[in-house]
Structure 1
Amino acid sequence: MTLYCLTGTPGTGKSSVSAELRSRGWDVVDGKAFLREHGLLGEYDAERDTYEVDLDDFNDALEAFRDAEGPVVLDSHLSHFMDSSGIVVLRCRPSVLAERLRARGYSEAKVRENVQAEILDEILVEATETDIPVGELDTTSATIAEIADAAEKIIRGHAPDYPLGSTDWSTEMEEWF
């Protein structure tokens, strides 16, 4: 299997890191565009400002990439639910994440939902519920090039060099809950 997952809460840097990996010659699939192009977006949840996605259908639609000659990186905050060879989880300090999401025009409710998910390690916990190697990267103050360098190392089998639990946002919990 040659599919690798780049995941993280929205705003942690997935798109920026994906663009850098693509510029270095990696085959990168934009998960959001893929879902749209393959008709995999389900019902729209107006309250949460998001679409439902059937994860089994998403996983099945990615089958062709698992047989690819070279590695393929899937950029999606849902990618860690897919069958893959490795997972890179991007993390970001909640106060910085909130600034990034507000700059994108997210509603305060959407900012709060995503910041709370980041504080609670939601995506990291979900990623570690598999037997797939996982590496964790803090994007708060690193450059895109530095993050891409580390992501490449994780993809090449060095996930243990980027240990899980290396980020702890519990000091910001009181502000967001």
Structure 2
Amino acid sequence: MAQQHPNMNFIALEMQESALAVLLKQQVATPLPNLQLLVANADHLVDLFSDDQVSEIYLNFSDPWPKTRHEKRRLTYASFLTQYRRILTPTGVLQLKTDNRHFFEYSLMSMNHFGMHFAELSLDLHHDTTAWAMTNVTTEYEDKFAAKGQPIYGVRATFESPLD
């Protein structure tokens, strides 16, 4: 996405150093001045970003934390949504993509209970013909799961309804 949108700044936030190491190697080989890498835990986003500072948040193939006792670790749990609301601009967008149906359903319910507006929703993003699907930038995980025939679930949501 940083390559396709050189006038936008991107921050890749990951708590696993090994995951960012792969991206760092690519960044060294082909530097993108609009991409910054940050090793951090998303539990503390409000300590990293000011209120209304971020225009979009992308949750790409996050760990679904399938066990009920780990629900608070899911990146669409209420405590995370509270932080996203603070750091996103008033028209900011939260985008989620996953191959995990249960996590997707949980996320939709969580966002709905939080009063979010679903701007776009897909039960099979790679077979949709919406503008969002047609301009989708895929991730490595996404390509891997799609190649196995798994549907890619996606939602783009805002905290403000279009009528607000």
Task: Give TM-score, length-normalised by structure 2.
Answer: 0.37
Task: Give TM-score, length-normalised by structure 1.
Answer: 0.35
Larger RCO of the pair (alpha carbons < 8 Å, separation 6+): 1
Q: Going by fraction, where is strand more abundant, 1 or 2?
A: 2
